[in-house]
Amino acid sequence: MKHENTYKNVFLWLVAIVAINLLAANFFERIDLTRDQRYTLSPAAMEIVSDTDSPIVIEVFLEGNFPSEFRRLRNETRQMLEEFSAYNSNIKFTFTNPLEESKDAEATAQEFYQQGMPPARVSVQENGKSSEALVFPWAVATMGDQKVQIPLLKNKLGATDEERVSSSVQQLEYAIANALNKLVYPRKKKIAVMRGNGELPDAQIASFIKTLQEYYFMAPFTLDSAAINPQKTLQQLKEYDLIIEAKPTEAFTENEKYILDQYTMSGGKSLWLTEAVAMETDSLLNPSGIAFALPRDLNLGDFFFSYGIRINPVLINDIYSAPIILASGQGNNTRFNPYPWFYSPLTTSPNDHPIINNIEAVKFEYANQIDTLQNNIEKTILLSSSPQTRVEGTPREISLEMVSQEPNLASYKDGEQPLAVLLEGEFTSVYKNRIKPFEIEKPLDQSEETKMLVISDGDVIKNEVQRGKPLELGLERYTGNTYGNKEFLLNAVNYMLDDSGLIDIRSKEINIAFLDDRKTADEREKWQMINIVLPLVILGLFAFGFNYFRKRKYLK
């Protein structure tokens, strides 16, 4: 009888253990005790994770012996991936040290660079000593034959390594969710790249278009047939979810404007990169080094005015700006040197809108001032010049000799000037109560809810071309600086096409605490004594006290 009870108890315990494990595997709850909810996935990320029904393997190259700041980034990456993997076992990850089996670190770095994953050289002060380390802050997510690269380290101009890592940790969830989004969801929406009004050539917008192709269907679209069959052109344009006008230089006809207006009235979104002043840096490369900035009339004044903005034919001269690169010497002795150039504003953001949250400075060239007007459209100034700005009228002579002139700071008193404005709401037609350029069946005077982004500089989308090949948008090839142009434009398109779930992840604020290197070096011995010697002393006192009281007890 006794044995029967024992077997019964063992059996019940086994059943209970199995039941608890089954329940724990299917009904579990993760508790995030961090103040900023760092390890709690956003709803958009959870939706992507729940829709992942095929195995995805993420290989992270952030492994090895590198400075403490980057060990923090590695640990945060691992914890974030564990969070993704916990909710879907199809998501797996590994950490690899690219230099573990390689004897030539430079060759490995070059291999990564050719794959579009440049390594980072970091200089770190540790224990009072200076060192340089090669770090590969990248991961690759693979699903079947598809591969997506994941950048883990954000570069910010002038930022310290701690600030870069802090910014990178803040974007980890977005970076991983964005990669999974590309793998899990097929492309659906269509974008038209407008042609026919002197827009930038394909080679100069190739970098951004290639990036957009990972998310959307892309196609060129010309308004040339607007003069012959505008109704058909309008119907064809309505098939696209968004249009991109990349620096038009030829004036729009009334037919073309009416097509674009009715496209907006039907809910179409648009990204305008347009200028009211004609001026190019290339035009300065002549023997005199002089060119003239002239007003450019695109016949779009009433178009934008009706929607609530005005692009003024003036130039923004900003103390906070990117340098101009000029060559000196000849032949093999040619050197490329940076000089101050106040017509290339590095724009900052006056708000924390998801489009511009935590991005690098966006570089403009010969940007114009945007006025916002009163109407029912909600306007958000996404980017503006610095407080030390001077607005210059045109026509105006621009000379390369300006690089050697000391700026008169007292003249920079015009304050921040809007350079990129987001319009949201129900737009009123430009042609309401006006004679229409051509007849259509059901002209619309009021739009449904839609969005339009107007940027007063077409060069924001323009990438450099080297030996016939387009470089990354935002990369300055002579200085190696990378500006936030591509990230800004990609966020803008994602936002306007209602991929706002991913954009919301970007707004997540995470506070990372770092050690003070100088203080830790100065107080190293003190904390070693506290952590190593003090516990031994306490243990010795306990042993002595225990023996002492034990002897007293048994002597009695």
Q: What is the CATH number of the domain that holds 80?
A: 3.40.30
Whether 555 is in a domain gets the answer no
| 236: helix, strand or coil | helix
489 and 502 in a single domain? The answer is yes
| Model pLDDT, residue 553 | 79
66 and 22 in a single domain? The answer is no
Name the helix (H) or strand (E) containing 238: none
| 143: helix, strand or coil | strand
291 and 311 in a single domain? The answer is yes
270 and 349 in a single domain? The answer is yes
Kindly report the backbone phi and psi dihedral angles of residue 256, in degrees, each rounded to the nearest multiple of 5, phi listed first.
-65, -40
Task: In whole angstroms, give the CA distance from residue 365 to residue 399.
Answer: 15
105 and 245 in a single domain? The answer is no
Identify any residues that bridge with 390 across adjacent strands, giving them in sequence order.
317
104 and 220 in a single domain? The answer is no
| Model pLDDT, residue 357 | 79
pLDDT tens-digit map of 425-476 = 999 999 998 999 999 988 999 999 999 999 999 999 999 998 888 988 988 8
> Count of residues for the chain?
556
Identify any residues that bridge with 135 across adjacent strands, giving them in sequence order.
120
| 319: helix, strand or coil | coil
Conformational region of residue 40, where left means phi above 0, alpha means psi within -120 to 50, and beta covers everything else: beta
Q: What is the DSSP string of 166-206?
A: HHHHHTHHHHHHHHHHHHHSPP--EEEEEESSSPPPHHHHH
196 and 229 in a single domain? The answer is yes
Domain of residue 64, residue span: 31-184
Whether 536 is in a domain gets the answer no
| Regions of the chain with pLDDT less than 50 | none
Q: How many domains does the chain have?
A: 3
| Model pLDDT, residue 131 | 66
359 and 430 in a single domain? The answer is yes
pLDDT tens-digit map of 39-59 = 788 888 888 888 889 999 999
267 and 290 in a single domain? The answer is yes
**CB neighbour list of residue 207: distance below 8 Å, 6 or more residues apart:** 463, 470, 471, 472, 473, 486
Whether 162 is in a domain gets the answer yes
Q: Give the domain-ending residue among 138, 169, 184.
A: 184
Whether 531 is in a domain gets the answer no
* pTM for this entry: 0.79
For helices 68-87 and 172-184, give the axis angle rounded to 10 degrees.
40
Whether 142 is in a domain gets the answer yes
325 and 216 in a single domain? The answer is yes
131 and 204 in a single domain? The answer is no
Kindly report the backbone phi and psi dihedral angles of residue 298, in degrees, each rounded to the nearest multiple of 5, phi listed first.
-100, 5
Task: In whole angstroms, give the CA distance from residue 380 to residue 490.
Answer: 17
| Model pLDDT, residue 47 | 87
Q: Give the domain-ending residue among 122, 157, 184.
A: 184
Burial class of residue 161 in the structure, from the number of CB atoms within 10 Å of its CB (0-12 exposed, 13-18 middle, 19+ buried) = buried
CA distances from 132 to 90, 124, 135, 521 (A): 37, 6, 10, 18
Q: Give the domain-ending residue among 125, 156, 184.
A: 184
| Model pLDDT, residue 428 | 94
Kindly report the backbone phi and psi dihedral angles of residue 33, in degrees, each rounded to the nearest multiple of 5, phi listed first.
-95, 0
Residue with tokens 């779930």: 501
Whether 540 is in a domain gets the answer no
Assess contact for 101 and 45: CB atoms under 8 A. Answer: no
Task: In whole angstroms, give the CA distance from residue 193 to residue 436.
Answer: 25
Whether 535 is in a domain gets the answer no
102 and 244 in a single domain? The answer is no
Task: In whole angstroms, give the CA distance from residue 251 to residue 257.
Answer: 10
Q: Using the Cα atoms of residue 534, residue 535, residue 540 and residue 543 in order, give the sign of their dihedral.
A: positive
Whether 88 is in a domain gets the answer yes
